Each structure stands twice: as C-alpha cells, then as structure tokens.
Amino acid sequence: MWILKPSHTACFNSFSAQLAAGRHFWQFAMLMFALQWVAVAGQGQNPYGLSLTTTPEQLQLQADSQPALRLVALEGYIPNLRTQWVYAGKHNFTGRVLYQRPAAYLRAAAATRLLRVADSLSKMGLGIWVFDAYRPYAVTLKMWEVVPDDRYAANPATGSGHNRGIAVDLTLYNLQTGQPLAMPTGFDSFSDTAHHDFDQLPSEVIKNRALLKNLMESAGFVALPTEWWHYSLPQPKNYPLMDLSFKQLRHHWRRHHVRR
C-alpha cells in the first residue's frame, strides 16, 4: 500500500514533468524507489507474513476507498450501550492486562448491523453490553500463547475478526434494572456449557441465548459455535487486519469523526 503525503505528491508531479521533458531521469528513478520503500515500510507484517494496518493514515486510505471499512466508535452511536473491559485488567484467562484505555470500535459494515440489533432490543426494554469489539493484532498473539486452541482463541496465522473490526463479544441487559440477562456461562468460559448446542440449561437461559443469536444472525452476523457471546461478519478477508493501539485510534477519531 502506497502512503503518499501532499509533499510527496507535489515532488512526484514536479519530477514527472521534468522526466517528460527528458531531464533528471536518475533523480526521478531514485525518488520512485524511495517512495516505494516508504510505502512498504508503512505496511506492517505479523510473524506469519500477513499484512497489518499499523498507522491511522492506512486506516483512512481504507475508509476513503470503501466506506464499509470506516472505523466507527460505538459510544454515542449504539443507543444504551454498556461496556465491561475484561482484557483491560488482569482478571481474564491470560492473567495479564492486554490493553489499556480501550473503547468500542467496529468497521462501519459491522457497526450499522449492530445498530439494527440495538434498535430492535430497545423496543423490548433491552440493551447491548459489550465485552470486546476491535482489538489490536498484538493482543491475539498474547492470547494464543496462553490458549493455542482455535475453538476459543483466534489463530494468529489468520488473525481474529476482532483484529479486523468485524467481531463483537456481547450480552444483553435489562434497561430498567441494569442487570444482565441470564446466559449459559460467564464471559470467556472455555467449556462445553458455552457452546450454542449445549441444552442442559434452564429454559430462561436458552431463551435469552436464542434471542441474542436470532437478532444477531438476522442482522447479518455469524455466531461462533463454541462461544455464545461471540459474533462476527462473514468473509473476514474483505476487512484488513489492524494492529493500531487505542491511543492511535483516539487521535484518529478526533480528526475523522463519523457521526450517526
């Protein structure tokens, strides 16, 4: 991916004109080589050779080319949104702080679908409670070190839907009481009880799980069979992997605010 600043473009145009006039050929060739080196250097790679989006400039280029790739901040966009950032503390399956000062982000393709779900839920007196949405690719590497099992953790050789901004971990809560609905397990319970086909549960729990699943699938999300809380969009390779920190995203969001 080429990342050209305005100053680069102006210089490029100037040398192009000179080349057309038959002058400064070698200077022009050296400029082209330098620009290509900058472009390659700006596109990070993971240990498995996959390309990663690592700068806000890359993210903006993606959004400019395809609106569905815009990164949307869910706070203020999804009505009645609640969050609980388990990975921002040590009380998670890794026992480590995996990221700091997080916020809920999704690609526009996923955010608009989640909005449809939230609108349907609000009519039932319910809201969305998010545990995780976008997360940097570096976090996927750390998770795989602890749980190298693709039933419960994303294989870093392909990356996670969370790294692509198209996956969300969530539950439902009652708008009046503020309490979460009863679900099969707590978040990140790596057990058969968390599977969608596990039915040795109270009828109310099965009903709540089915409500979440039906609404998410109707909006275009796909359920992960082994985790009742995890949903993502199909065709993940249509959405580039990202390894941007939440600090980078906060700065990017302030410059490119996307309103509902």
Beta bridge partners of 172: 128
* Domain 52-255 classification at class level: alpha beta
Question: In the predicted model, what is the mean pLDDT of residues 34-49?
Answer: 52
What is the CA angle 134-137-138, rounded to 5? 125
204 included as an active-site residue? no
For the chain, how many residues are written?
260
Average per-residue pLDDT for the chain: 86
Question: In the predicted model, what is the mean pLDDT of residues 100-124?
Answer: 98
Is the pLDDT confidence value at 28 over 90?
A: no
The whole-angstrom separation of Cα 150 and Cα 144 is 9
Yes or no: say if 102 and 165 are a contact pair by the CB < 8 Å rule.
Answer: no
Phi/psi of residue 173, nearest 5 degrees: -140, 160
pLDDT one-digit tens code per residue, 196-238: 999 999 999 999 999 999 999 999 999 999 999 999 999 999 9
Beta bridge partners of 51: 45
List, as own/partner pairs, every contact residues 230-233 make where C-beta atoms lie below 8 angstroms and the sequence separation is at least 24, other chains included: 230/167, 230/168, 230/169, 231/167, 231/168, 231/170, 232/110, 232/161, 232/162, 232/166, 232/167, 232/168, 233/107, 233/109, 233/110, 233/113, 233/161, 233/166, 233/167
* pLDDT computed for residue 25 by the predictor: 44
Is the pLDDT confidence value at 124 over 90?
A: yes
H-type helices in the chain, by residue range?
6-20, 25-42, 56-65, 108-122, 137-146, 203-218, 246-255
pLDDT one-digit tens code per residue, 54-71: 999 999 999 999 999 999
Question: Model confidence at 170, in pLDDT bands (50, 70, 90)?
Answer: very high
The whole-angstrom separation of Cα 151 and Cα 226 is 6
Give percent of the chain above pLDDT 70: 81
Yes or no: say if 185 and 260 are a contact pair by the CB < 8 Å rule.
Answer: no
Q: What is the pTM of this model?
A: 0.81
Domain ranges across the chain: 6-39, 52-255
